[in-house]
Structure 1
Amino acid sequence: MEIAGKSAVVTGGASGLGEATARVLAAEGVKVAIFDLNEEAGNAVAAELGGVFCKVDVTNDASVDAGFAKARAAHGQEAILVNCAGTGNAIKTAGRDRKTGDITHFPIEAFDKIVQINLVGTFRCIAKSAAGMLTLEPGENGERGAIVNTASVAAEDGQIGQAAYSASKGGVVGMTLPIARDLSSEGIRINTILPGIFNTPLLKGAPQNVLDALGAQVPFPKRLGDPAEYASLAIEMIRNSYFNGEDVRLDGSIRMAPR
């Protein structure tokens, strides 16, 4: 796909992996709309890129519909969607308090929240964006659009306390191929990136020795991933018209230990 002049929506685009991708897209001549809950950061990034910010809660139908309406009013129908909105938590399925002996379990509402944001929210944006892409005239090879999702290496080797996070990200991986098959006759492609340990706002405030220890776990290169490296792969997935239905780890060959 030739991306210059196209319109794109990047969820979670106000920071981290999403911001890095939005910046690369804009630098390549793409009109970018940022979906995020952080108004201050989102407006700042959008203004810098000459894009548009849409305050969007991916768990809410009306909010997502309003975001797409605003983005399309500004830039026209998007041909590119990059899903980076997501969150996580760390709670054991069941456990015992070492001091009191009290037994607890993972609160179901906390599990559901992660799934609603990471999995259902991602699918909500995919379905609504793909429906819009169907209105586009097909380009070279009949292509109408390209979608990139963000899963995690936790989809395949989740750690202690990551049951909800791993389930949500595993769901993103699991739905990639069937969605690619659903949309193939309409010329819309979809791929998913499984990032390893990246230097994003999720690690903001962590002491340098902790960051160094995390980086040292990576076989090579022995450091945290740079969001620009995620953006590079996302852009390749968008540009390369034979890239479809794939789930690709981007992790320096790390395989996560239980903790």
Structure 2
Amino acid sequence: MSEVKMPEPTWQRTLQLHWERRPVVLPARDTLVSPRALFTIACELGARCPQDGPPSDFVVHFASGQRRAVVAQALFPRLQDQTFSGYAARIERELSTRSFLLYVRGFAEHAPALRERALSRLQSLRQAGLHWRHLEVELYIGRYDWTAIGVHRERCGNLHEVILGRKQLLFWPPRVLAARGDRPECAQHGESRQRAVDAGLLDRASVCCRARSGETIYFPSGHWHVGASPRLSAAVDLALYGIGSSRPGRPLKDSTR
């Protein structure tokens, strides 16, 4: 299937209509970063990670299936892997599992070209009247049938661009699901796909968004959501915090903590 190319005003108009209302898949456009360039960024982040522990200047989580692993340099892509597929094959050999997810947040200062590209894209949205206070850039690489944290929510809107492969996200409006008492950011019975099926959560999913390489899934702050990528994928997420707190025309502070 060929990529869908839409004029910039159409992309912006679609986002304006859904902003803080409901999720939507935005059509393909010029990507934030190529798969090859993103692979190189991931390798460079791995090189900054200690051999036996997590880095100190950005946040990393790694899950194999539903099990969290102690983050170390070996869990990142390496240049010797050559591609994301080579990386996935190595992880499968070393961990004896096909299911994994590498999540990185707060790394944009180590990827200046990606950061500038993201800010340029957001500037055009801001000029269209969409507002937020700051952003964080996040990276998702993996092959999994349910996000390790389960069904969860965040205080940010998201532009989730698929760089490689295909992804699916399920969404529920804020008041549809009950929060866990010990972790209010997580939904009750949302820890795994089977738990969600048994509890009837999937029957109550308001939206299922599927996106392929080049497409972007937008979803509002506070929406319950969970991701799935049965085949290998890589995505960059622009998490927008403080939505609606700035007046039109007021300068906004963009940071990548």
The bucket for the TM-score relative to the shorter chain is: under 0.3
Going by fraction, where is strand more abundant, 1 or 2? 2
Going by fraction, where is helix more abundant, 1 or 2? 1
Structure with larger RCO (C-alpha < 8 A, sep 6+): 2
TM-score by length of 1: 0.28
